[in-house]
């Protein structure tokens, strides 16, 4: 069936996420060293990430809201160390700003330009990237975030919401993403077409795509070529 709109995952599809997160964690820890020295002394960046993971495990109902998980884990670290938990808001704001300083994969700007001239593009993400701050908002007609919608991928409801926003039946929407469970299985289960973005930087080991996957590509130019964009 023809494709009339595209939904795109963001993290590890348009940019590598962990380098950005790691830089943001260092910036946050440097800030803590000045504003909450007891917390910085007890929790290095690895320990802060571990506490974040622990909070996420304790609150599975927050799994769609990475902002809340990060913010609450920072409050908990401050509280445990006798620093002011209210500092978490300012610390997270700094972290969040740095998290938007992503390094796009080389094909992304020109690839999105090609795709956007042919199809309406919509972001569909479980993360908390801000396309305006990242500098890619001009290519997208809109988007759905797990935090804003209340559930995340692979729940079929968030895919349905993206299709509703696009005004296109699911069978004519192609979802593009790097995660086999969240993106590929999720899209197929919701009745969308699915393209697995299998970038070697993200997926160095060969893995077989799920049955029914419509496209397996390593960059946006290959996808654009296949779609006639």
- Could you give the CA distance from residue 56 to residue 126 in angstroms, rounded to a whole number? 14
What is the chain's Cα-based Rg?
19
Contact 173, 5 (CB under 8 A): yes
> Dmax of the chain from CA atoms?
60
Count other Cβ atoms within 10 Å, centred on residue 164: 11
DSSP conformational letter for 169: -
d(CA 7, CA 222): 16
Instruction: State whether residue 81 is helix, strand or coil.
Output: coil
The whole-angstrom distance between residue 124's C-alpha and the CA centroid of its chain comes to 8
Contact, 115 vs 229, CB < 8 A?
Answer: yes
Distance CA 166, CA 161 (A): 9
Residue 207: both structure tokens together: 């893995």
Active site residue 9: yes
Query: Tokens representing 169?
Result: 């039946």
Whole-angstrom distance, CA of residue 212 vs CA of residue 91:
44
Which residues does the annotation mark as catalytic?
A: 9
């Amino acid at each position: 069936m023809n494709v009339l709109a595209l939904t795109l995952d963001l993290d590890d599809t348009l940019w590598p996420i962990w380098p950005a997160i790691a830089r943001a964690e260092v910036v946050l820890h440097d800030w803590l060293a000045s504003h909450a020295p007891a917390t910085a002394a007890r929790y290095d960046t690895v320990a802060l990430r571990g506490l974040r993971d622990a909070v996420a495990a304790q609150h599975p109902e927050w799994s769609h809201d990475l902002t809340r998980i990060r913010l609450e884990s920072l409050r908990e670290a401050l509280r445990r160390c006798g620093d002011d938990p209210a500092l978490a808001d300012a610390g997270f704001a700094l972290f969040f700003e740095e998290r938007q300083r992503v390094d796009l994969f080389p094909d992304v700007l020109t690839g999105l330009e090609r795709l956007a001239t042919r199809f309406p593009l919509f972001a569909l993400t479980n993360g908390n990237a801000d396309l305006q701050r990242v500098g890619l908002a001009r290519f997208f007609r809109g988007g759905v975030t797990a935090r804003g919608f209340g559930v995340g991928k692979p729940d079929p409801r968030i895919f349905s919401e993206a299709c509703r926003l696009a005004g296109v039946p699911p069978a004519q929407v192609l979802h593009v993403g790097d995660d086999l469970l969240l993106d590929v299985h999720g899209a197929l289960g919701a009745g969308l077409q699915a393209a697995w973005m299998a970038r070697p930087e993200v997926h160095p080991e060969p893995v077989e795509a799920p049955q029914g996957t419509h496209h397996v590509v390593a960059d946006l130019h290959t996808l654009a070529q296949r779609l006639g964009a």
